[in-house]
Structure 1
Amino acid sequence: MQQTLKSILVLGAGSFGSCLADHLGDSEHHVYLWSRSKEFCDHFNQQHRCIHQLTDHQFSTHITAVGPEFPDRALVEKIDILLFAIPTEGVRSNLVALKPVLNFDRLPLLIFVNKGIEISTQCITMEIIADELGPEVAKVTTFLSGPSFAKEIVRRQPTSVSIASLTPERAQQAAEVFHQPWFRCDDPIGVELAGAMKNVYAIVAGAADGLGFENNTRASLITRALSEMTRVGKAYGANPLTYLGLAGVGDLILTCSSPLSRNYTVGKRLAAGEKIEDIVKSLGSVAEGVATSKALKSVIDDLKLDLPIANSVYEVLYEGKDVKERAQFLMSLPSVPELELPEDELSEPVRRLRARLGIE
Structure 2
Amino acid sequence: MSSDKADTKRVLVLDDGNFGSCLADHLADIDNDVFIHCRKQEVIDSFNTHHRNPNYLQDHIFSKNLTAIGPEVPDLGFVSTCDVLVFAIPTQSMRSVLESLHLDKLDPTRLPQLCFVNKGIEMGTNKLPLEVIEEACGSQVAHVSTFLSGPSFAKEIVKRQPTQVSVSSTSIQHAQATAELFHQPHFRCYVNTDPIGVELAGALKNVYAIASGVSGGLGFEANTRAGLVTRSLAEMTRIGVAYNADPLTFLSLAGVGDLFLTCSSEKSRNFTVGYRLGKGESLEHILETLGSVAEGVDTAKSAYAMVQERNLHAPILEHVYRLLWKGESAKDLAKALMELPMMEEKEGMSS
Shorter-chain TM band: over 0.9
Task: Find the aligned partners of 1:195 and 1:3 in 2 and give their Cα distance.
Answer: 33
> Residue in 1 aligned with 2:90?
87
How much does 1:102 deviate?
5.4
Task: Find the aligned partners of 2:154 and 2:141 in 1 and give their Cα distance.
Answer: 28
How much does 1:191 deviate?
0.5
> Residue in 2 aligned with 1:39?
42
What whole-Å deviation, never above 9, does each CA across 1:183-221 have from its counterpart, x for those lacking one? 222211100100000000000101100110000000000
For 1:249, which of 245, 256, 259 is the aligned residue?
256
> Residue in 1 aligned with 2:136?
132
> Residue in 2 aligned with 1:358?
none
For 1:98, which of 101, 107, 110 is the aligned residue?
101
What whole-Å deviation, never above 9, does each CA across 1:66-108 have from its counterpart, x for those lacking one? 1110002232111000000011000001001111695234200
Task: Find the aligned partners of 1:153 and 1:176 in 2 and give their Cα distance.
Answer: 17
Task: Work out whether 1:290 is the aligned partner of 2:293.
Answer: no
Q: 1:303 is aligned with what amino acid? A: R
1:110 aligned counterpart, secondary structure: strand
What whole-Å deviation, never above 9, does each CA across 1:115-140 have from its counterpart, x for those lacking one? 10011100000000000100111011
2:55 aligned counterpart, secondary structure: coil
Task: Work out whether 1:175 is the aligned partner of 2:179.
Answer: yes
> Residue in 2 aligned with 1:158?
162
Task: Find the aligned partners of 1:70 and 1:261 in 2 and give their Cα distance.
Answer: 29
Q: Contact 2:104–2:141 (CA<8 Å) still a contact in 1? A: no
> Residue in 1 aligned with 2:223?
216
Task: Work out whether 1:314 is the aligned partner of 2:292.
Answer: no
> Residue in 2 aligned with 1:56?
59
> Residue in 1 aligned with 2:121?
117
Task: Work out whether 1:78 is the aligned partner of 2:85.
Answer: no
Task: Find the aligned partners of 1:304 and 1:101 in 2 and give their Cα distance.
Answer: 36
Task: Find the aligned partners of 1:343 and 1:152 in 2 and give their Cα distance.
Answer: 34
1:183 aligned counterpart, secondary structure: strand
Q: 2:171 is aligned with what amino acid? A: T
Task: Find the aligned partners of 1:202 and 1:19 in 2 and give their Cα distance.
Answer: 22
Overall identity of the aligned pairs, in %: 53
How much does 1:236 deviate?
0.6
Task: Work out whether 1:8 is the aligned partner of 2:11.
Answer: yes
> Residue in 2 aligned with 1:356?
none
Task: Work out whether 1:205 is the aligned partner of 2:212.
Answer: yes
For 1:189, which of 187, 196, 218 is the aligned residue?
196
The 5 Å alignment of 1:134-149 reads: 134-149=138-153
1:43 aligned counterpart, secondary structure: helix
For 1:238, which of 245, 270, 274 is the aligned residue?
245
> Residue in 2 aligned with 1:67?
70
Q: Contact 1:235–1:342 (CA<8 Å) still a contact in 2? A: no
> Residue in 2 aligned with 1:108?
112
Q: Which moved more, 1:214-223 or 1:333-342?
A: 333-342
> Residue in 2 aligned with 1:349?
none
> Residue in 2 aligned with 1:351?
none
> Residue in 2 aligned with 1:330?
337
Cα root mean square deviation, aligned: 1.3
Task: Find the aligned partners of 1:33 and 1:117 in 2 and give their Cα distance.
Answer: 24
Q: Which moved more, 1:184-193 or 1:158-167?
A: 184-193
Q: Which moved more, 1:126-135 or 1:71-80?
A: 71-80
> Residue in 2 aligned with 1:355?
none
Q: Which moved more, 1:102-111 or 1:128-137?
A: 102-111
Residue segments in structure 2 that go unaligned for 5+ positions in a row: none
Task: Find the aligned partners of 2:42 and 2:282 in 1 and give their Cα distance.
Answer: 30
How much does 1:329 deviate?
1.1
Q: 1:158 is aligned with what amino acid? A: P
Q: Contact 2:165–2:188 (CA<8 Å) still a contact in 1? A: no
1:69 aligned counterpart, secondary structure: coil
> Residue in 2 aligned with 1:348?
none
For 1:280, which of 278, 287, 297 is the aligned residue?
287
Residue segments in structure 1 that go unaligned for 5+ positions in a row: 345-360
